[in-house]
Amino acid sequence: MAEPVALLALAIEGAIGWPDALNRRIGHPVGIFAAIIVWCDRRWNRPELADWTRYVAGIGCVLLLLVVATVAGLLLQWGLHRIAGRWAWIFIMLCAVPGMAAGSLYRHVRAVAAPLQAGDLGAARMAVAMIVGRDTDRLDSAGIARAAIESLAESFCDGVMAPLFWLVMGGLPGLWAYKAINTADSLIGHREERWRAFGWAAARLDDLLNLIPARLSGSLLCLSAGRGLRIMLRDAHRHASPNAGWPEAAMAGALDVRLAGPIAYDGVSQDKPWIGSGRLHLAAADLHAALRIYLRACLLLGLAAAPFAWCDL
């Protein structure tokens, strides 16, 4: 007997997300990984340590995360099978729900589109600042739309495709090991001097874990839009990340716009290359179009995940 664990986990999270009431009471499971990362960073990433020591410490932090996530996932699956027997798959599916972010991502990006459509740039900047790391205080309407679309495309891989991929490949241990490393990459996998050595292992392992999902994400976005493949294949390598360029280039081609380009982080401008060769002036309508493409891609992903049901995890 096989059960559609991955499909139902994606569908439930897409419908209800991670409820705010639950988040206030117990937090989010990813918060456990964040706490471990912060603990390691404070104790093992001191500026007086040599770079090689911080590289080794960063590897130790990643190994600790993998052990915690994998062992917890294995014990949880084993325990659920022991307690619930043939109905264990239902509880395994529920434990997988918080690892997905399809619905949460849609709602965060839609929160940018609404004030942008109404012309309230202040509210739109505040909303987009919740989902991007760049400076947002001086973004015009086109910059806000571009930032939100880029985040939507990239997070389709990080928050939807990759978690589902690793859930199918490795059950709860695979899903939560991925979430642990992805969380580490977002917190310490940066090129700034503070994290360059300590976060190296997290960044490189995150690149490896997203290698296949990123290309699947880009392809699925092109398929859901009915266009964009040529731009994706041409421009994916223009992104600094070996993976983020695939869904971003796919979305740029699908919308016939230009993404990426010059950007500022912490007041420092970076002259990044453009991805895509379409329009420079983006508007709320482009963000709404991107959301429609995203929803179709999620639907196609759900249909693709339907045959991948597993037994005796």
Strand ranges in 136-258 using DSSP code E only, listed in sequence order = none
At residue 228, the 3 state secondary structure works out as coil
At residue 109, the 3 state secondary structure works out as helix
At residue 142, the 3 state secondary structure works out as helix
The rounded distance, in Å, linking the Cα atoms of 101 and 310 is: 21
Q: Place 267 in a pLDDT band, splitting at 50, 70 and 90.
A: low
pLDDT tens, residue by residue, 109-144:
999 999 999 999 999 999 999 998 888 888 899 999
pLDDT at residue number 142 = 93
* C-beta neighbour count of 253 within 10 angstroms: 27
pLDDT at residue number 193 = 86
CB 13 within 8 A of CB 103: yes
pLDDT at residue number 188 = 95
Q: Which two tokens stand for residue 79?
A: 């325990």
pLDDT tens, residue by residue, 85-102:
888 889 999 999 999 999
pLDDT at residue number 312 = 43
Comparing CA positions, the residue from 113, 227, 207, 111 lying closest to residue 158 is 207
The rounded distance, in Å, linking the Cα atoms of 118 and 144 is: 13
pLDDT at residue number 61 = 97
Work out the angle between the directed axes of helices 245-255 and 284-305 (0-180°, nearest 10).
120
* C-beta neighbour count of 6 within 10 angstroms: 26
The 8-class DSSP code of residue 160 comes to I
Strand partners of residue 260: 274
Strands 274-275 and 259-260: antiparallel
In Å, what is the CA distance from 249 to each residue of 11, 74, 186?
26, 37, 21
Whether the per-residue pLDDT at 38 is higher than 90: the answer is: yes
Whether the per-residue pLDDT at 1 is higher than 60: the answer is: no
Cα within 13 Å of Cα(195), Cβ side: 20
Q: Which two tokens stand for residue 151?
A: 């985040």
Q: Hey, what's the torsion of the CAs at 185, 188, 189, 194, to 10 degrees?
A: 180
